[in-house]
Amino acid sequence: MVDFAQARQNMVDCQLRTNRITDPAVIEAFSTVPREAFVDDIHRSVAYADEDLPIGGGRFLMEPMVFARLVQALDISGSDIVLDIGCGTGYSAAILACLSATVVALESNSDLVTRATRTLAENSVDNAVVIEAPLVDGYAGQGPYGVICIEGAIPEVPEKLLGQLSEGGRLAAVLNQGPGPGNAILMVKKYGAISSRNLFDANIAHLPEFERRPGFVF
């Protein structure tokens, strides 16, 4: 039988701390939230592996190291309202809820919405709400947001999402337009303008809704 508490500690010590995760609040969040509760039974034994894990519907939980580095780069404060795009089964929302005031967890797959809502409640996460809506549109009704985190690789960040950042707001995502590794970026809104900087290379599963559709060929 898997000792999940020990597996979680091994993840923190061997995957996070060895990859520049130093923020005590981030380490505490990843040390506390039971990742095994957010995966299918068949994947519980490998819940803390350093890889993306399938959660159904062609979707994946992002590997812990990449997600942790994105979260640390976002520099989340206890007063931030966070938009979590593509929350899947709710693991990312549970982590973000440990660090922020409120999480709006956006998910377009109705089965995942039901599952995330149930699992967050079962784990007493009371400052996150799961909303069913198209991922590419964000959720302006609860914005603007101090933080936006995108839970999968995308080809580019839609302007509609950048428009939902508050002044001083931060957005983290992995951009990938081809078959090779993607690039994690941090975008910041300051004085109404958006700046961007590269963080690190990352190879994670794509969010299908963000994929570009082929244009017409004349």
pLDDT digits (tens, 9 = 90+) for 97-141: 999 999 999 999 999 999 999 999 999 999 999 999 999 999 999
pLDDT at 1: 82
With 0-12 CB in 10 A as exposed, 13-18 as middle and 19+ as buried, what is 4? middle
Residue 164: both structure tokens together: 């939902």
Give strand ranges (E) for the chain.
53-56, 59-61, 81-85, 102-107, 128-132, 145-154, 165-175, 182-190, 193-202
pLDDT value at position 147?
A: 98
Q: Which of the residues in the chain have pLDDT under 50? A: 216-218
The pLDDT of residue 178: 76
- Determine the pLDDT at residue 212: 67
How much is the pTM? 0.95
Residue found under tokens 């951009």: 175
**What's the Cα-to-Cα distance from 89 to each of 12, 54, 83, 93, 95, rounded to whole Å?**
21, 10, 15, 9, 12
Q: What is the pLDDT, as a whole number, of residue 177?
A: 84
